[in-house]
Chain A
Amino acid sequence: MIKNKAKNNSGKLSFSRSLKKYWILYLMMLPGLLYFIVFKYGSMFGLITAFQEFRLTKGVLGSQFVGFEHFAKFFQSNKFSTLFINTMRLAVCNIIFFFPLPIIISLLINELKSKRYKSVIQGVIYIPHFVSWVVVASVVVELFNTQDGAITQMINKAFGTSVNILSNENTFVGLITGEQMWKEFGWGTIIFLAALAGVDTQLYEAAKIDGANRWKQTLHVTLPAMKPTIIIQLILRMGNFLNTGFEQILLALNSSNRSVGEVFDTYVYQVALQNGKISYGTAIGMFKSVVGLILVVTVNKIAKKAGEEGVY
């Protein structure tokens, strides 16, 4: 995309000529550039607190260095394996129960014949994406709390008993996955529907002439057209598996489900900002960031090898 646009200007300009020609543009990018330098790179610089015993009074530059002490402490504690297992459990459930949903729904939407009905359905199923996690968590509480939850009331009436799903080790993963399904399945269809919009109509015509019914057309035309998108989405999801929704989990955590619900981000928040162990929290956060980087880079390489466009 860069190359074919550059045909008018052969090659790049030297610094002084570029400055003369584009000084207005350099000024225009300044606020954004400052943002990236101060907040993004500034916070990366702040990672050195992971190797220090951070004291607020001494700041990042003055605190005493302790090397890898915090990392060692974290890996030796049993917290590491708990957090890892909790994250894995949520990630696996997400891939099994959430991931196929937008694919199936977009296949169904694609089969709709009325264009208007189709856009109404799309308009409606995108709505939950725009609602905050605080609202989702609040609605879930209003529906399922054991005192007067709307759905709990009905279950109580029908069965005489009900399960507390909000403060329960056994239902936590289901609760989180269910919330994700409700909030994001519609939004998730966008990318698959975009892939389907690009399918050549002639393929369907040809399949019809060959006597393929609609199920066969889906199987042999639609699904193969979606396959690259499905694969790249799956790979991306795996590259991001450490990123379980932080806000969502923070809002659903309580003392009864913490043992299965605690993940890296929520633990960092608790340790550093609530208990004041800034350096220890930073070290755990840094471990997560580094593993995340390695995963994404690896996954991107795999995607490119598979002949797909990478993420970056």
Chain B
Amino acid sequence: MTTMKSASSTKVKESTGSKIFDLFNILLLFFIAFICLSPFLYVFSASVSNVADVNTRGFFIYPTSFDLSAYQFLIKSKMLIGSIGRSFLITIIGTALSLTVTVMMAYSLSKPDMWGRAFINKLIVFTMLFSGGMIPTYLVVSGLKLTDTYFALWLPGLVSAYNMILIRTNIMALPSELLEAAKVDGCNDFVIFYKIVLPLIKPSLATFGLFYAVGYWNDFFNATIYLNDMNMWPIQVWLRQIVLLSAGVSDVTETTNFIAPSTINYAVIIFATVPILCVYPFIMRFFEKGMMVGSVKG
């Protein structure tokens, strides 16, 4: 950003070396971006190709045949289509819960003169440095009888201390005159929070909402250890089951009798990826603002 400005403001004649570098740089970054995208292009193309193409063409980034049988199979399979629905449910409710609790906590810890604030802050920061770890958390979750409920996916990671602190920093940077004016008008803290603070921190809500949503959508481990009932499994667990465990590259401890046609793998990967990527472009405009909050922490 900065170099660009300076380059255009002083129109000195550019050396040929500099021009060659620019061209090379544009091409190199194009290639790098292509490396990021090509696996998606391949998986999508393979998912809409016929089996013979997939077996003979090797790596390709556009389809030359058109065959939707993988998607037809997927939509007919109650287990798979149901798991996608459940992933949506887990993600939407989980994100709403996490964001609500996180933002309420961030706002309530934004008053410097509040009694107990420093202590609670320390309590929270310590959890970023030290944790009981996987097994004690598992004991807490099973002790609370949350196994085989979706609360086992929502509650153990309900609030990210890091997100909470960043949102709090954002709230504390709001102009205090605004909040005080509302107080003079007789608004209580909750009304101020709802009517004034929330609209002002939309970029961070969008950003951290996306982070939570990505976490819930992508989680497979909590679902693996807490959900024994395969009728409750989200798409990520099924993806692992179908592609990784049946392919024999990952240790099989939980086996199921699921035999899939070969291009179904690609269709399931698409379903496990696309929904969360669809949210991304809408949030991207908030995203750079929201991330900036992180860079000026403290």
Establish whether residues A312 and B15, one from each chain, have CB atoms under 8 Å apart when the complex forms: no
Residue A58 at the chain B interface, CB threshold 8 Å = no
Assess whether A204 is interfacial by the CB under 8 Å rule: yes
Cβ A269 vs Cβ B134 within 8 A:
yes
Q: Taking A46-B132, A47-B132, A289-B130 as contacts, is the C-beta distance between A25 and B189 under 8 angstroms?
A: yes
Which of B67-75, B76-84, B116-124 touches A? B116-124
Q: Given A31-B104, A113-B4, are A278 and B33 also a contact pair (CB < 8 Å)?
A: no
Q: Determine if A177 is an interface residue (Cβ-Cβ < 8 Å).
A: no
The DSSP consensus for interface residues of chain B is helix
Question: Across the interface, do B39 and A143 meet the contact criterion of CB distance under 8 Å?
Answer: yes
Q: Of B105, B112, B273, B291, which one neighbours A32 at CB under 8 angstroms?
A: B105
Complex CA–CA separation, A11 to B117 (angstroms): 12
A residues 274-289 near B (Cβ < 8 Å) are: 274, 278, 281-282, 285-286, 288-289
A121-B33, A132-B217 in contact; A28/B190 too (CB < 8 A)? yes
Compute how far the CA of A121 lies from the CA of B43 in the bound complex, rounded to whole angstroms: 21
Q: B205 an interface residue at 8 Å Cβ cutoff?
A: no
CB of A40 within 8 A of CB of B131, answer yes
Q: When chains A and B are docked, how far (Å) is the Cα of A143 from the Cα of B251? A: 19
Contacts of A201 in B (CB 8 A): 2-3, 5-6
Query: Is the CB–CB distance between A199 and B134 below 8 Å?
Result: no
B127–A40 contact, CB under 8 A? yes
In the complex with contacts A108-B29, A289-B130, A293-B130, A18-B113 CB distance below 8 A = yes
Is the beta-carbon distance between B12 and A208 smaller than 8 angstroms?
yes
CA A283 – CA B59 in complex, angstroms? Answer: 46
Query: Which of the candidate stretches A78-86, A89-97, A144-152, A230-238 sits at the interface with the other chain?
Result: A144-152
A224 within 8 A of partner (CB): no
- Contact yes or no, A289 B131, CB < 8 A: yes
A154, B239: Cβ atoms closer than 8 Å: no
Judge whether A265 and B134 touch: CB under 8 Å: yes
A72 at the interface (CB under 8 A from B): no
Interface string of B17-53 (1 = CB under 8 A from A): 1100110011011101101110110110010000000
Residue of B nearest to A43 (CB): B132
CB pair B25 A111 closer than 8 Å: yes
Assembly CA distance A111 to B3 (angstroms): 7
B104, A28: Cβ atoms closer than 8 Å: yes
Question: In the bound complex, do residue B156 and residue A312 qualify as a contact, i.e. CB atoms below 8 Å apart?
Answer: no
Decide yes or no whether B253 CB sits under 8 A from chain A: yes
Q: Across the interface, do B113 and A40 meet the contact criterion of CB distance under 8 Å? A: no
Instruction: Tell yes or no: B62 within 8 A of A by CB.
Output: no
Which residues of chain B come closer than 8 Å to A252, judged between CB atoms? Answer: 250
- The proximity string for A residues 8-42 relative to B, scoring 1 for CB distances below 8 Å and 0 otherwise, is 11011111011100101110110111011011111
Nearest chain B residue, comparing its CB with the CB of A268: B134
Give a binary string over B119-161; 1 marks a CB under 8 Å from any A CB, 0 the rest: 0100111011111111111111001100000000001101101
Beyond A6-B113, A115-B1, is A121–B29 a contact (Cβ under 8 Å)? yes
A155-182 interface with B by 8 A CB criterion: 157, 166-167, 182
> Taking the complex as formed, is B258 at the interface, i.e. its CB lies under 8 A from any CB of chain A?
no
A288 touches B133 (CB 8 A): yes
CA distance A109 to B3 in the complex (A): 11
CB distance B243 to A39 under 8 Å?
A: no
B243 touching A142, Cβ below 8 Å: yes
Quick one: closest B residue to A196, CB to CB? B2
**Quick check: is A68 within 8 A (CB to CB) of the other chain?**
no
Task: Please tell me which one of the listed residues A31, A126, A148 contacts residue B55 in the complex, with CB atoms under 8 A apart.
Answer: A148
Complexed CA–CA distance, A271 and B147 (Å): 20
Which of A5, A124, A166, A268 is B176 in contact with, Cβ under 8 Å?
Answer: A5
Chain B residues within an 8 Å CB radius of A253: 250-251
- 7 chain-A/chain-B pairs, Cβ below 8 angstroms: A13-B113, A17-B115, A29-B108, A111-B25, A199-B2, A254-B248, A293-B129
Mark B residues whose CB is within 8 Å of A.
1-8, 10, 12, 15, 17-18, 21-22, 25-26, 28-30, 32-33, 35-37, 39-40, 42-43, 46, 54-60, 101-102, 104-105, 107-109, 111-117, 120, 123-125, 127-140, 143-144, 155-156, 158-159, 161, 164, 169, 172, 176, 188-190, 193, 214, 217-221, 225, 236-237, 239-240, 243-244, 247-251, 253, 262, 265-266, 268-269, 272-273, 276-277, 280-281, 284, 291-292, 295, 298
- Known contacts A134-B236, A288-B133; 10 additional CB pairs below 8 A are A29-B105, A32-B102, A40-B127, A46-B132, A46-B135, A46-B140, A60-B143, A127-B40, A142-B269, A153-B57
